[in-house]
Chains A and B, each alone.
Chain A
Amino acid sequence: MNFTITKVQLFVMLFFRTTGIIFIAYSEALLNAGGRDAWIMFFIAAAFVFLQLCVYEKCYKYFELGKITRWIYIFSWVILLILSLVYIQYTLNIWVLGNTPNYVTLLLMLLVSYYISVSRPSTAVNMPVFIIPFVFVFVFFLLFAVPELRVSQLFPIGKSSGHEWIMGMLYGLASFTGLEGYLVLRKYVLTEDKMRFKDILIYQTIITVFSGFLMLVVKMYFAPASLPYITEPTLYILKSIEVTFVKRLDIFFLYMWLGWSIISLSLIVFNIRIVYFQKERKHKKIPMVVLHLLIFFSSIAFLNIRSVEFLRAHFQYIYIPFTVILPAFIIWKNKRRETKCAK
């Protein structure tokens, strides 16, 4: 595929790819797994991710996918797409669309995704821009919950067990799932657009502040014992906020989250598209049709509480294999090959 992006577009895509879908729910999983110190674990994980991005920036040239690694990534992203759609549909069923047949909403979501996937790359690149204003609106309305927040909920610290630290760190890292997108997209950044350490720092600070804010609001709002019962704590908070102009703030933001999630899905599809079409292919649209049909039927097949709970219980394990180990292996292998060739 032939296209170029600016570094700002890269970071905007990465932001929405990372935060989309999970941002209404990840804090509950993280806080339950990490115990009292979970919020500290999140910020340590954010610092780790920053270092990881710096390493990515140094080594992205060596991130060349081979036949096997390409299909490993495509396979993992397809699984992620299916599970994400299952989660989105399940959440919609619970909150607003209890009677609407699943295939209708899934079809509509995938139709948008398909349209983006067969359009020019610039469509996928620029779609996240539509959501930017909503980020501020979302944060603004969450601030209405401030009178109910209790700083004392953050303390005491140092009470989490070793196991809680391991799980908390895994969930903390999983809040940044999709970071491998940086490696996939980095080589398309305009060469004259120099990437500096400061740019990565600003990006990581913004995403940490946003995700950290959501997590801290949940932590300070809910009693620790009540949190395991709540699946989407951020929506629950919005549901409890009283404003004069709209009866249910949560419904408004649920649709905003839906838009955000569809864009996140289309960015995963975009990653698949880039990786798949790295090799010259005869057909351009048929693979996308097949991909969307596969996602559609698989989502229908797996749409049940077991899949959703499986996803909630295991999504923290995605990060290390696909964002740390596999990229490290690919980079190490290509770097070694280059050194050997140079000799």
Chain B
Amino acid sequence: MRKIIVFLLLSSVFLSGCWDQRLYKELSIISVVGVDGHIGDLKAFYAYPSSSDDPTKYIVLEGVGKTAREVRMNANKKTEQTMDIAELTTILVSEETAKKDLYSLLDVYYRSAESPMTAKVVITDGSTKKFLELKENLPKEIGEYYLDFIQSFEKSSIYPVTNLEIAANKMFGEGRDLALPYLKASGDKGLPEGEGIALFNGKNYTGEHLTMRESTFATLIGYGKSDIIELAYLMKKDGKDISVGFNAIRFKKNMKVTQVGNNIKVKYNIYMPIVMTEYPPDHLDRTKRRKELEKFIEGRVEKDIARMFKKSQEASSDVVGIGEDIRAYYPNLWKDGKWKEIYKDIKIETKVDVKIVRSGSIR
């Protein structure tokens, strides 16, 4: 009798999950969400695979409501299953929506322990609807497609690595602003295309975004090199257009901060050894040719970085996290709650030192 009681008690352990089990067959597994509008007048689109045989086929549910939760509840009424966001990979937010307190829109994801914090948050040019109702068949499941799409840019050091959790951290942090991937729909088929990174000031999108090349330098200076750095420029020489392509092997930065009167001066010294990937005139074995090319690249990179900083300062977005370093290592220059006022007037200089260390498999 005693053994039976012990057995029954131990068996009951396995019942504890019954109340919280969620079966796949009863759920619509949402992989991408698109959000338009503002709190009080929200519209959201939820994409989930419609066929277990062909994962590329999907259905988009539309929901309207005053709050993010209400929108989801509204969309849920249009499906026979329960919507589940445990496997969400991407949240698309239209640029107009992101301009007004992104955090309040995302609170619904942070508060629920079921939401995956690894989901990407992306800002879209115009409504998110067109990014979900694509005219072209995608090669893979839509959530997987968007995730791979963003991750490929992250690996190319064009976008900094972000996800829901990192986004919240940056929205609350004062010394570094959030930078999210910015996508636009391109061509007749309206396929998504990377357009740069969206600049944030606190919790709000500033309405400004960096170009792809500016994004690359913002990512490199602010977050460091990821797997690869690929860059290409057009060099004009003797009336001819010469293609210059290279991969940076390293991107080493050294930041110096000085106070000039009431202003702060930040100087970046960047060392960038490169390997040439495109240079039709060849003869890179000649020192003179290499020096000439290095100087050209240095000039162009410095210009791009200067443009990136100008745009970021005008948008009041400390995308590379200068404030973070100043607060930590130059606390006498830091003022709590007033960083953005100081940031706008900072003088930023960049000196780039490029070294061609490999010419590729030809000279």
Chain A interfacial positions (CB closer than 8 Å to B): 94-101, 104-105, 108, 111, 147-148, 150, 152-156, 159, 221-226, 229, 236-237, 239-242, 247-248
Contacts and interface: CB of A to CB of B under 8 A. Distances in A.
Contacts of A241: 118
Interface residues of B, number: 36
A152 B324 CA distance: 7
The 10 closest A-B pairs by CB, nearest first: A223-B173, A226-B172, A152-B328, A240-B165, A155-B328, A156-B331, A225-B172, A100-B19, A99-B19, A240-B117
Interface in B110-165: 110, 113, 116-118, 161, 163-165
A223 B172 contact: yes
A162 to B, nearest CB: 18
A240 B166 contact: yes
Contacts, number: 89
Contact of B16 (A104, A156, A226): A104
Contacts of A155: 327-329, 331
B13 A159 contact: no
B95 interface: no
A156 B172 contact: no
B166 A148 contact: yes
B169 A223 contact: yes
Interface of B: 9, 12-13, 15-20, 86-87, 110, 113, 116-118, 161, 163-166, 168-175, 324-325, 327-329, 331, 334
Contact of B87 (A100, A156, A223, A247): A247
Nearest to B329: A155
Contacts of B334: 156
A97 B331 contact: no
Contacts of B325: 152
29 contacts: A96-B20, A96-B113, A97-B20, A99-B19, A100-B18, A100-B19, A101-B19, A104-B12, A105-B16, A155-B331, A159-B331, A221-B169, A222-B169, A223-B169, A223-B170, A223-B174, A224-B173, A225-B173, A226-B169, A226-B171, A226-B173, A229-B110, A239-B165, A240-B117, A240-B118, A240-B164, A241-B118, A242-B118, A248-B86
A305 to B, nearest CB: 13
Contacts of A97: 16-17, 19-20
Given A95-B113, A223-B172, A242-B118, A236 B165 contact: yes
Nearest to B331: A156
Given A105-B16, A108-B16, A111-B9, A153 B165 contact: no
A13 to B, nearest CB: 25
Contact of A239 (B16, B117, B161, B173): B117
